[in-house]
Structure 1
Amino acid sequence: MSADLAALVTSLAQRARAASLALAVTPSSARNAALLDLAGRLTAATDALLAANRQDLAAARENGLAAAQIDRLTLTPARLAQLAASVREVAALPDPVGELLEETTRPNGLVLRKIRVPIGVIGIVYEARPNVTIDCAVLCLKSGNAAILRGGKECFHTNTALAALVSAALAATGLPADAVQLIPTTERAALTTLLKLDELVHCIIPRGGESLIRFVTANSTIPVIKHYKGVCFVYVDRAADAAMAEHIIVNAKTSRPGVCNAAEQLLIHRDVASTLLPRLARALVAAKNVQLRCDPASAAILATANLPHTAAVPADYTTEFLDYILAVRVVDSLDAAIATINRDSSAHSEAIVTDDETAARRFLAAVDSAAVLWNASTRFNDGFEFGLGAEIGISTDRLHARGPMGLRELCSYKWQVTGHGQVRS
């Protein structure tokens, strides 16, 4: 590894740490001003950003990236407008920094206050997702954290252009210049260095494919908040409304198949499978020619209906396809569906479609995933959709955050203790 590269990343982290200490005591109004300035720059720079993105898209096609990866990489005027809107929404959210969580007075007169504070320096490691550059920058700024961004080679030009806008907004509003920094190389050695800087960086959040996340987790001496993959289930119960089930599964599978909250698995109750499954299959094929990989029971039903399908292999039941592919199984009961999901899912997002409230409540309580939905698409497990403004990631961990990570999840807390001369006996 180049000593110069290691020194570059270490210096960047040192400056980020200094910036984090200054940012933690910066007024909320100053942080909001930077976000609003950035939102305006995103709109004004649409043409330049699309030009930078076209460079990355051309390289992606030359390198044979899958359609789902190219979709994640692509910026459009509409996506940039939504990105600017999400920045403004974050600016409008309540400031979590300094929020009083608890207050108590001890018998000896000590007053204890538990206060929400920034984590400090957060490193974000991501692949072909240019929106992450902005999402993570604004969430870190709003929550008083410094951010170190390490994007993938697939979107290097786009990330560089977006990070330049963040730097300009910081300069225009007087916030620390090193509060958000993009590592200016995609060499793996730079990432390896970053992951060992546990005295300067307090948290690492990887966003990307399972191989990247496992590399980060295996090589980091810094706490990592993560999810490895999104093997998300939709269970159609015997009391499901047929039209609703069709609408939800088509949306969950086909609206954006390359994202982690897209449905990859369909379970259907045996009592309604013979009548409802052909309808769902027709809708999925009509929408995006979805390939159905079926267990023997569902295959028999679709064969009788003369509908296209293939036989599933065991690996299909735990695979994140990120494509127009859906694994299908027939289950005998609600409890069988719950057991299957708890065994085979990645604990990300699972949905039940049913008009039976008792069944739904049991599903919501018993399924052990970060988000569990009743009569709604798995695609709603998203920071923007949850009203967080944006998200820095979706965690399937249990410490310290789970599900979409917004402002409060980017904070820790500290105790402030006020006395009047007390000493411990």
Structure 2
Amino acid sequence: MSLRFPTLLGCAGIAVLSVACGMAPDEGTTSESALNEPAWTPHKPADPASCPGTAVAGKLSLYLIPPPVRLDWSTPNRLIGDAIRAEIQGGALERQGKVGLGHSIGHVHMQLDCGEHSVPLTGQTGGSGSWQSALDGFGMLLRAFEGSMDAATPASSAKIKEDVRLREQNGLISKMSFLVNEGVCKRVKEFHDEYVARRAYRKYGGHFRGRRFEGAGCAIWGADVLDVAGLLRRSVYTPVWTQSMMVGEGRFSNLFGADHYEAGSNLVWRGPDGESVIWPAGVDIPTSGWPIWPASRRLSSWTGPEDDAFGITEARGPLERQLPFSIYDPMLMNDWAERVWSDANAHGAATSMETTWTASTNGRSHEITTDAHCTQAQTIPFDRDNDDLFKDSDEP
């Protein structure tokens, strides 16, 4: 990410009532066609020994760059304060020649080495004009910034390659790699090319879903590459890689913009009961135009008595005053990869996210690799995934 801070029971009662009062003869009876319908089977990573004759065609990698300072998401104020410190530290690392780019809140790159289906090192980036959100509180993370692809020009491509080289040399990056078959190579290449052709990259924001071509943040775009490829299950990695919360109406504003923010498909929160709260599809997020000052009491918590109702009929229950929000976090992705690397390095291999990983090094940085060449590519249309970010994308 280049974004700079100045920076989510009546059904049970109805069911019981239905049984108690009785049903019409055909109610509650499953039709023959429904009985004959095949049950959905999760698209899990395949055993690399399960496909004799299938060759490894290439390697898909995500480069995971953590922020230079750990970001504390427990309150908006702590997040903003840490992001400012990370901005300063990122600049210091650049001046010391340890990195080529500061990446104050972290970043994720993708690379596919697969012959004619290859995609050079790239990723979703953006964030120019972030000064406009200085007094928007959490609105900073709801704004659609001007975006681009990391490899948009020869100059930008050279710059990110140099940054990766320096980070590998100094142990400031980790890498997650998959050995894949030709079908997966084609699928990833098609997704990348369609994303670029639609110019979806022009919108940079953490609540947009890349596979739906809404735009994206860097980490959601990287995670969506793995998702459309079918290499890992979304229900497995999302709880580990996301920061997720309900944000009160009084915690964000749009001081220099419209009276709303554009909704994105990642406005989802998974509650402690395991149920997801999802913002109504296509409904913009109402907001005020009043300034929210950094370090103010209002930003000392994610919700509170200052939160008014949004005033939209589609937002009921907890959505009346709170916005569900989940964002894939390069810091959490890197944390997970480093844990897996440590386990694999100590024991020869490690199992995580339903697959087996081995450990290696690139300079002073760590890489985890899994043999996924027997895993078949996902086949559903890119933009027809499940609305619930915490469910598998191909779950009906």
Q: TM-score interval w.r.t. the shorter chain?
A: under 0.3
Greater relative contact order (Cα < 8 A, sep 6+) = 2
Question: Rg: which structure is higher?
Answer: 1
* TM-score (norm. length: structure 2): 0.25
